[in-house]
């Protein structure tokens, strides 16, 4: 009478299936399939793992897995002294679920690290401020110029101790008098994170 392993091996060879093909189809590594066909039960940690592999193998080969499992239980039901490995590695199962879970974990971790890094940069970076107008620095016979700048809309802008308010786009304006030849403009901007930026420009009044 053929053993369970011999039945499975005979049917596989009859259908012309290599073990590698079976491995891909039922997600069980070739070395464990070979152990099944050779009736090498000590290769597994417990009878539960053996029955699981046998069932999937039989279904793939088009055999009645109930009969195959019945043969297995009949052959080895009385052999309670079989020695199985104490530890089992689930590596013999090529788990698609495990792969998907790992991929999701990697993606979530990547986005979390990216977001956290971006927030740290925002927290540590002082606010940006720029002068839009005027684009020139030398003026003739002009006593006052309009300064138009841009910064973050949540920032606080101060010019010569005076609080200057920007609009919803972060644009602010300031009338800057030219009282002498060299006129230094100092703009202080404090961001929502408490960081400060100081912008200094010098405008020349030519006589």
Summarised one tens digit per residue, pLDDT across range 127-183 is 899 999 999 989 988 889 999 999 998 899 999 889 999 999 999 999 999 988 889
Q: Which residue segments constitute the domains of the chain, with CATH numbers given?
A: 4-94 (1.10.260.40), 129-206 (2.60.40.10)
Cβ partners under 8 Å of residue 77, min gap 6: none
Which two structure tokens, joined as six digits, stand for 75? 């052959």
Checking phi first, is residue 206 left (phi over 0); if not, alpha (psi -120 to 50) or beta? beta
Predicted model pTM? 0.42
What pLDDT, on a 0 to 100 scale, did the predictor assign at position 86?
Answer: 47
Residue 122: which of 49, 174, 68, 195 has the closest Cα?
Answer: 195
- Contact between 54 and 72 under an 8 Å Cβ cutoff? The reply is yes
CA distance linking residue 13 with residue 92, whole number of Å: 22
Higher-confidence residue of 205 and 1: namely 205
What pLDDT, on a 0 to 100 scale, did the predictor assign at position 193?
Answer: 83
């Amino acid at each position: 009478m053929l053993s369970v392993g011999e039945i499975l091996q005979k049917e596989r060879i009859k259908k012309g299936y290599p073990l590698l093909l079976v491995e891909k189809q039922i997600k069980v590594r070739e070395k464990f399939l070979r152990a099944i066909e050779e009736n090498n039960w000590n290769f597994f940690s417990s009878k539960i793992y053996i029955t699981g592999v046998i069932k999937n193998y039989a279904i793939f080969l088009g055999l009645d897995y109930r009969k195959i499992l019945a043969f297995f239980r009949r052959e080895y039901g009385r052999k309670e002294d079989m020695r199985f490995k104490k530890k089992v590695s689930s590596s013999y199962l090529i788990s698609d679920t495990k792969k998907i879970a790992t991929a999701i974990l990697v993606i979530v971790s990547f986005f979390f690290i990216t977001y956290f890094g971006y927030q740290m940069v925002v927290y540590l970076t002082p606010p940006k401020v720029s002068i839009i107008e005027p684009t020139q620095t030398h003026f003739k016979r002009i006593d006052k110029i309009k300064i138009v700048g841009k910064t973050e809309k949540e920032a606080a802008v101060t010019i010569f101790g005076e609080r200057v308010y920007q609009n919803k786009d972060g644009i602010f304006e300031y009338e800057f008098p030219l009282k002498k030849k060299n006129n230094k403009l100092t703009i202080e901007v404090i961001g929502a994170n408490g960081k400060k930026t100081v912008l200094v420009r010098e405008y020349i009044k030519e006589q």
